[in-house]
Structure 1
Amino acid sequence: MKIMNFNHKQTSFTIPLSSKAHEKANQRRQRISNTEDGKKIYLNTLAVYAVNYYLDCMGFETNWSNADNSNSWMLSLIDLADLEIKNIGKIECRPVLPDAEYLEIPTEIRTDRTAYVAVQFNHALRSAKILGFTTQQLAKIHLSQLQPIDDLLDYLTVKEATAKVNIREWMKGVFTEGWLNLEEIFNPRELSFRFARNFNVTKCKKIDIGLHLNGKSVVLIVKLNPKNKEIVDEKYQNQGGIDIIVQVQPDPEKSVSLPPGLKLVVSDENGQEVDSVISRQHDNWVDIKLSAELNEEFCVEIILDESKVTQDFVV
């Protein structure tokens, strides 16, 4: 569970840098004779440690367990302080010295990052303060222009909820976190009434992300069938395509019909609309049928008034 709501907006978060943090930093700068390179690796490691500690406290799962085995020589060549967050991607944890006024972002890491987080140390390196973050790919940004740390949690939560779904993995029985079997949302009577059982894979996901959809909760359903019925598991990766139905239904716990005016849109990887449908009064569902080939990407949007939820897919 993510810890997201506080009584007041936090502008920073201070973390003690324990002996364990310094041991990890020492391990990562081993065998580096250049003093400046060694210092860079040391500070980068402490910055990643601090952000990892913070995200762990807030319920995010990261992949930093192999940090002790990182190649120190490679780290000396690239000014790298990245941290991978499960189902979200990589963020960059940039060290900020005590008297600095700017967050500086090296050229080599200004792409493929979900966010850049500023981590400021005290003079004795006994504590680190997470000042905020930016998503702008700039050479430097003034610390006063950073977004507050609380907004980072909201930002990452939305990113996690809308992480790109790999349909090839679904066909192999590996399902994206947050996607459920129909039985986990709909009762047996609803299942028999609303769903035909002629699809190879059917998964669903509640769309109830806080401020989205004006408080209206709906269920996004994706049904998959290989065009060649004999193509399953590993064979599917090399040939054929897939027939897909994208459907939106009301949350059975809250309503029996969709709110009128809800729009379901499917766009291609270039953002061009492929198809769309709008719910009418008392509609039980809306859906769009499409076909996709290997490596093809598409985007599903659920729009109601000024609110929009987006979900990306890749075949």
Structure 2
Amino acid sequence: MIFNFGNLEHESVNPMTTNLIFTVPLTQQQRQVATSCSQRYSNSAKAKRIYRQVLALYAVHFYTDCMGITTDVTASGFCHPIEQLLADVAELPIPGLAGLECVLVEPAIANLDLVYNHPKTLTVQTSSEALNNRLGYVAVGFSPTEEEAYLLGFRKTLSSELTTLDNWQSLERLFVVLKNALTPTSLICLRDWFADQFTPDWEPLSAEFMTQDTAQVAAIAFRTPSTQPTIQRAKRLQFSDGHTIALEVGVYPLSDEEIDVRVRLIPPLGAALPSDLSLMILDDMDTVIMQTQARGTSVLRLEFSVEPEEVFKLKLQRNTVSLVETFSF
């Protein structure tokens, strides 16, 4: 594998002042799985990269498991040949959040003094496909025999496919990012929407989701006439397997004491909702009030009324991955 050192990224990221290195012994079974996945590829360089990516996923999964962080290694898709052929990624999904990209370090590390004293000689390479929609990036190196993996650093973002290890932060930084990501989202007050006060992630529905079906549904009036207009905002969501959807919330005043709320999950133009996608309405005690599942439908819809001070939650569920948004009126 040839590296073009002229294209290496040099960002100001407060590089590591102390190196936290986490060593993970790799089992024979894990190496056998990695071998099985890599043997699907006739290109030796691609096969070698797949082999090491699988081991990197196992290593980061072991580390997060030790730290009490739930990750779903079975959902990473590392042994799906079509996925790996089309996208050179090693993403470890975290239920309810974006995934961690496991980024390979070159060359093999025969002595850890190399990490401590010469991090500029260690190159970290990812792919263009992995530069977006990640919670963060973990740099993973290997011993020459690949019987051990070394977790060497963390980055929250990357803007280039090639970096050197001296531009990475300590692995401890991962927990700061996770803590912020796992902090419950603030309550979304729908009364603010009537005053045209919206958070930046809630926007008018993007054109990529405006199919004929959604346009027709958007024009349908609510149950009771009102002189006040409908207010609709949408949030773009992307799952770790690449599926993108819009979560749209529409509010309509029925009276001073009640509003109608309509929720829709909409796929992009020409796409379908994931068949395992469920939408649930929860009360403030997390009791399920309403629910529906995609099952081949083009758009999921739920409609209900809300009274003042009432709190409700929208929960999107896909297997082990879930997302919750909390609202009040």
The TM-score, its normalising length taken from structure 1, stands at 0.52
Amino acid in the other structure paired with 2:179: T
| Counterpart check, 1:116 vs 2:133 | no
One of 209, 213, 238 as aligned partner of 2:301: 238
One of 104, 109, 115 as aligned partner of 2:125: 104
CA offsets 1:116-169 (integer angstroms, 9 cap, x no match): 110011111111110111122221332112121122123213312336999977
How far is the alpha carbon of 1:19 from its aligned partner?
A: 0.7
Which residue in 1 is equivalent to 2:325? 313
Which residue in 2 is equivalent to 1:182? none
Distance 1:245 1:170, change over 3 A: farther
Which residue in 1 is equivalent to 2:182? 160
CA contact (8 A) 1:172 1:234 kept: no
Which residue in 1 is equivalent to 2:90? 81
Question: How far apart in 2 are the matches of 1:69 and 1:292?
Answer: 33
One of 268, 280, 284 as aligned partner of 1:202: 284
Task: Give aligned pairs, total.
Answer: 199
Q: Secondary structure at the match of 1:79?
A: coil
CA contact (8 A) 1:241 1:292 kept: no
Runs of at least 5 residues in structure 2 that lack an aligned partner in the other structure: 1-17, 110-120, 188-246, 250-262, 264-277, 294-298, 317-322
Match runs of 1:1-315 below 5 Å = 11-65=20-74, 70-97=79-106, 98=108, 100-139=121-160, 140-162=162-184, 171-173=280-282, 201-203=283-285, 232-234=290-292, 237-240=300-303, 243=306, 313=325
CA contact (8 A) 2:60 2:102 kept: yes
Amino acid in the other structure paired with 1:105: T
Distance 1:69 1:203, change over 3 A: same
How far is the alpha carbon of 1:312 from its aligned partner?
A: 7.9
What is the Cα-based RMSD across aligned positions, in Å? 4.0
Question: How far apart in 1 are the matches of 2:58 and 2:143?
Answer: 15
Which residue in 1 is equivalent to 2:273? none
Question: How far apart in 1 are the matches of 2:90 and 2:186?
Answer: 24
Question: How far apart in 2 are the matches of 1:292 and 1:51?
Answer: 32
Question: How far apart in 2 are the matches of 1:66 and 1:84?
Answer: 7
Q: Share of identical aligned residues, percent? A: 24
Which residue in 1 is equivalent to 2:224? none
Q: Secondary structure at the match of 2:48?
A: helix
Q: Secondary structure at the match of 1:238?
A: strand
Distance 1:78 1:292, change over 3 A: closer
Distance 1:135 1:243, change over 3 A: same
Which consecutive aligned stretches of 4+ in structure 1 deviate over 4 angstroms post-superposition?
Answer: 66-69, 163-173, 289-293
CA contact (8 A) 1:242 1:291 kept: no
CA contact (8 A) 2:281 2:313 kept: no
Question: How far apart in 1 are the matches of 2:313 and 2:20?
Answer: 45
Q: Secondary structure at the match of 2:137?
A: strand
Question: How far apart in 2 are the matches of 1:80 and 1:13?
Answer: 22
How far is the alpha carbon of 1:95 from its aligned partner?
A: 1.2
Question: How far apart in 2 are the matches of 1:312 and 1:233?
Answer: 14
CA contact (8 A) 2:91 2:100 kept: yes
